[in-house]
Amino acid sequence: MTSPSMFDANSLDRNLGMELVRVTESAALAGGLWAGRGDKIGVDGAAVRAMRDTLNTVNLRGTVIIGEGEKDEAPMLANGEKVGNGWGPEVDVAVDPVDGTRLCAEGRPNAISVMAIAAAGSMYDPSAFYYMKKISTGPEAADAIDVDASVEENIKNVAKAKNKSVRDITVVVLDRPRHDDLQAAIREAGAKVRLIADGDVAGAVAAAKHGNSVDLMMGIGGTPEGIITAAAMRCMGGAIQGRLWPKTDEEIARAESGQYDTDKVLHTNDLCSTDDCFFCTTGVTNGDMVGGVSFRSHGAYTRSLVMRGTSGTIRFIEGFHRLEKLQALSNEYARGLPQIGSL
C-alpha cells in the first residue's frame, strides 16, 4: 500500500521549479550578451525583456511584489505587475533580472539572474523602503543571530553554534563607505571580512551553503534582495533578520508618520511566511554560487541553482542552448550587438 504524501496536495507543483529555471536562464542569456560592455541600462533592459517574456509563458497567476528596478531607476518588472499566463496557482513574485548589473557591465564576477515565488500573500511588501539593515546565516547558526546585538556578540554566537574559532569566521560585507565602521568592528572582534562589490543575495546564499568558506552576511543592503534572500533561507534552513533603513527624505517622512515601524525586527518568517516557495538563480558572470554564461560558436552554456522550500531540495543544473535558438534572443534583446556566433 502506498503511503500518503508528506506534502500538502495544495502546495505549489514541484515541477514549477524547472519552469523558473527557464525564466532565469533566459534573463541571464540576454543580459550576458552585454557583459563587459559598460552599459548597465543595456544589461537591465535586455534581461528584463527576456525575463518578462519567458515568465509570461509559465502556468501561474503571479503578482510582482519585488521588481527591484525602482530602487536603481532601471528597467524593471514593476511592483504590482501581473505575470504568468493566467493559469495555475496564485503566487507572489520577487525578481531581479540581473542582481549585479554593474558587475555584469564591467565584466566582473558574481552577477546573477534571480527570482523567488511563494504562495500568494506570503511575501513582505516593503512599500518603497529600498534599504534595510540585515544579518543572515545558514542552518547551523540560524538561532544564533540577532540584528540588534553587537557585531562582536553575533560573531561569537555564530562561532559557538558552528563549533569554530572566532578567527575562522568570515563575514560577507558589501563594499560601501557606510560599512567602514562595520568592517573595523568585525576585524576587532577577531573575524575576517570578505568584501563584495554588489549582489548580496549571492552573499547571503553563500553564507548559508553548507561547507562554504563564509559564515555570515552583515550590513545595509537592498530590501528587495532581503525578501528574495528570505525565500532562499526558507529552502536552505537558514535565517535572515532585518530592519527597514529609511534613506531618502520621502522614506524618512513615511517612517516618521507612523505608517511603518522601522524599529521592528523582520525575521525570515516576516519576509517570506511559507515554505511553499521556490528560489532560482542563473549565473550571468562567473561567481562563487554558480558559474556564468559561456558563449560558444555553436551555442551557450548556463549554470543554475533551484531550491524548493517544501522539500528543502537544492539542485544545480547545467544547460546547453543551441545557436539557432539563441540567435532569436540576440536579435530581440541585444539591439545591434554582434551575432552570438561571432562572440
Per-residue cell: 301: 552554456
Query: Quick one: 328 exposed, middle or buried, by C-beta within 10 A (0-12, 13-18, 19+)?
Result: exposed
> Is 68 annotated among the ligand-binding residues?
yes
Q: How far apart are CA 45 and CA 80, in angstroms?
A: 19
Q: How far is CA 130 from the centre of its chain?
A: 15
Coil, strand or helix: which one is 35?
A: coil
Which residue type sits at 138? Answer: G
> Is 106 annotated among the ligand-binding residues?
no
Query: Quick one: 343 exposed, middle or buried, by C-beta within 10 A (0-12, 13-18, 19+)?
Result: middle
Nearest to 219 by CA among 178, 247, 280, 259: 178
> Is 99 annotated among the ligand-binding residues?
yes
> Is 261 annotated among the ligand-binding residues?
no
The DSSP secondary-structure symbol of 155 reads H
> Is 86 annotated among the ligand-binding residues?
no
The CA–CA distances, whole Å, from 167 to 145, 171, 187, 251, 266 equal 17, 11, 9, 38, 29
> Is 222 annotated among the ligand-binding residues?
yes
> Is 101 annotated among the ligand-binding residues?
yes
> Is 177 annotated among the ligand-binding residues?
yes
> Is 283 annotated among the ligand-binding residues?
no
> Is 256 annotated among the ligand-binding residues?
no
> Is 108 annotated among the ligand-binding residues?
no
- Structural contact between residues 109 and 103, judged by C-beta atoms closer than 8 angstroms: yes
For residue 75, give every residue at least 6 positions away whose Cβ sits within 8 Å of its Cβ, in sequence order, or none.
Answer: 41, 44, 45, 48, 49, 69
> Is 199 annotated among the ligand-binding residues?
yes
Nearest to 145 by CA among 207, 60, 195: 207
Exposure class string for 65-75: b at 16+ Cβ within 10 A, else e: bbbbbebbebb
Place of cell 524547472: 18
Q: How far apart are CA 171 and CA 218, in angstroms?
A: 7
> Is 131 annotated among the ligand-binding residues?
yes
Binding-site entries: 44, 68, 96, 99-101, 131, 176-178, 198-200, 222, 225
Binding-site entries for Mn(2+): 44, 68, 96, 99, 225
Binding-site entries for substrate: 99-101, 131, 176-178, 198-200, 222
